[in-house]
């Protein structure tokens, strides 16, 4: 049986995993049909997408157990729908109803984690993600999700062991996602060699992974290779909608290469698309 990805969704297997959040973090996938700041960005699954497939365990169960599983599934589906709609209290209520039926539901804890995180209850989100990982200690998705949370809380070095465990799951459907996240966190932890290895492995699996491309641009720029950084930055901006940090890095790279006009264009675009940039203290040359 394929093991479900259990940051960043649904009855699922979510495409290529090339979705990003505009803050600092990566991927939560929920399979409701089964019982079972740096400038760096991390991957979270997009709950609004419909590119999912239903995968169910084929086993013989009693009518009573079948009814309970069906009822739990209904609550999980409702919870996911409310998460998509932005009804985070409703998401938690329905997920907790599912837990009353199945106290070991990884999907329920994952949905509650996502709802808590989007509500700004960061510590509570971490508790839910950790519980999901404890209940599914070999699930690449659940382990990746908790690693993402740790890294986002400034515990980048600690997060790396969770990504290692996620990547040990041979049934994990989106390893490029975990590799990109692991590389980004290794870069944040100052482990450049490890970061480069993970990020290039992610690109080998998914050449348009925006998380890996953005982190490689950052790594090359940090190590003084501006031309190489520009190439990865341009690929990053072509791969997915730009965020503020991708545009800021692009402006800094162009400034380093002496193209002040290009640097200014990136800054102007950043300020137009992300008005909160105004008053940040950055000059038009893209420098802090």
Q: What is the mean pLDDT of residues 236-241?
A: 97
Residue identified by tokens 């992300």 is: 274
Query: Residue 243 above 60 pLDDT?
Result: yes
Q: What is the pLDDT of residues 172-192, one digit of tens each?
A: 999 999 999 999 999 999 999
Q: What is the pLDDT of residues 113-144, one digit of tens each?
A: 999 999 999 999 999 999 999 999 999 999 99
Give me the sign of the Cα torsion angle 192, 198, 200, 203: negative
CA distance 222 to 226: 9
Q: For residue 20, what are the β-bridge partners? A: 43
CA distance 136 to 134: 5
267 to 63, 91, 201, 242: CA distances (angstroms): 62, 38, 31, 12
CA distance 279 to 288: 11
Q: What is the DSSP string of 141-157?
A: HHHHHHHHHHHHTT-HH
Cα atoms in the Cβ-side hemisphere of radius 13 Å centred on 224: 0
CA distance 34 to 3: 9
> Cβ distance 8 to 231 under 8 Å?
no
CA distance 252 to 240: 19
All domains in the chain, ordered by first residue: 1-176 (1.25.40.10)
Specify the 3-state DSSP secondary structure of 17. coil
Tokens of 246: 């991708």
Residue identified by tokens 């909160």 is: 276
Q: Would you place residue 67 in the very low, low, confident or very high pLDDT band (cuts 50, 70, 90)?
A: confident
């Amino acid at each position: 049986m394929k093991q479900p990805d259990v940051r960043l969704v649904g009855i699922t297997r979510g495409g290529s995993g090339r979705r990003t959040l505009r803050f600092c973090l990566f991927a939560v996938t929920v399979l409701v049909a089964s019982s079972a700041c740096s400038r760096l960005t991390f991957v979270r699954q997009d709950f609004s997408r419909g590119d999912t497939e239903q995968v169910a365990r084929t086993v013989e169960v009693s009518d009573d157990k079948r009814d309970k599983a069906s009822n739990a599934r209904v609550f999980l589906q409702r919870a996911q729908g409310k998460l998509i709609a932005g009804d985070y209290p409703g998401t938690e209520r329905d997920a907790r109803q599912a837990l009353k039926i199945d106290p070991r539901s990884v999907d329920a804890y994952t949905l509650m984690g996502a709802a808590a995180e989007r509500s700004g209850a960061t510590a509570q989100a971490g508790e839910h993600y950790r519980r999901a990982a404890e209940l599914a200690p070999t699930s690449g998705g659940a382990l990746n999700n908790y690693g993402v949370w740790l890294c986002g809380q400034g515990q980048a070095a600690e997060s790396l062991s969770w990504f290692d465990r996620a990547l040990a799951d041979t049934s994990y459907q989106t390893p490029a996602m975990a590799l990109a996240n692991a590389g980004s966190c290794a870069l944040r932890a100052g482990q450049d060699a490890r970061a480069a290895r993970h990020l290039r492995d992610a690109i080998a699996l998914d050449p348009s992974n925006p998380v890996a491309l953005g982190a490689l641009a950052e790594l090359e720029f940090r190590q003084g290779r501006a031309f190489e950084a520009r190439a990865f930055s341009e690929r990053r901006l072509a791969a997915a909608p730009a965020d503020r940090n991708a545009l800021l890095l692009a402006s800094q790279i162009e400034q380093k290469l002496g193209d002040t006009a290009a640097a200014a264009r990136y800054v102007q675009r950043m300020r137009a698309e992300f008005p909160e940039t105004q008053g940040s203290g950055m000059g038009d040359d893209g420098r802090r």
